Amino acid sequence: MRGARNDRVSPTCAGGGAAASSLLRAPSPDVEGRKIAVIRVRDALAADHAAVLALNNSATPNVNELSEGEFAWIASHADYFRVAEDAAGLTAFVLALRPGLAYWSLNYRWFSDRGGSFIYLDRIVVDERARGTGVGRAMYDDLDRFARGRWPCITLEVNLMPPNPGSLAFHERLGFKQVGVRQEEGGAKAVALMERAT
């Protein structure tokens, strides 16, 4: 996680700092007979980059694949870049960016064009072995603590085409509301654009 680069701003979301390292308990500790009781959430290091990029690219089409150069750009501009790990190693990562960057993402640009202040959750990936254990929820809670008082809302998108109903339901449970839909390729690709006040 990088230091805050934004002063306090007035809320603009519809409807209204994390420590350097923290131990979090995952609420569902049993996964296929293995227990993941405690995870550590910490700032990402340069030594994590290869593993993070590999985890990202293993999660397509739910997140877009990145080249080394694209990943390096996002990582170097991220205001929030954290990883989660357990005894077996890296289990998840999150990258989030403030508005006003020359980022090529059309979803990021949609939120930028709409105006207001936000932190854009560009990507979160949880390793397959840790899915359903509460790691993703812990990462969102950590991002929320970091964003509170710096940005009035967290923005993101979830795939509608190809469909990702599990992610959509997860984000709705966390209080994210759909504020738009963006389509490409005549509707063959579509995302729900979502936000939640911090």
Query: Mean pLDDT for the chain?
Result: 85
pLDDT for 88 equals 87
> Where do the structural domains in the chain lie, given as residue ranges?
21-197
Class of domain 21-197: alpha beta
Prior bond of 162 cis (ω within 30°): yes
Mean pLDDT of 134-150: 94
**pLDDT tens by residue, 32-80:** 555 545 789 999 999 999 999 999 999 988 888 999 999 999 999 999 9
pLDDT for 113 equals 95
Mean pLDDT of 3-21: 43
pLDDT for 8 equals 35
Beta bridge partners of 146: none
pLDDT for 22 equals 55
Q: Under a CB-based contact definition with an 8 Å cutoff, are residues 4 and 17 in contact?
A: yes
Mean pLDDT of 175-179: 97
**pLDDT tens by residue, 16-31:** 434 445 555 444 444 4
pTM for the complete prediction?
A: 0.82
- Rounded alpha-carbon distances, angstroms, from residue 51 to 69, 121, 139, 148, 172: 15, 19, 17, 29, 29
Q: Is the pLDDT reported for residue 11 higher than 90? A: no
Q: Is the pLDDT reported for residue 119 higher than 90? A: yes
For the ranges 91-100, 147-156, 163-172, the lowest mean pLDDT is seen at: 163-172
Q: Residue 120 burial (CB < 10 Å; 0-12/13-18/19+)? A: buried
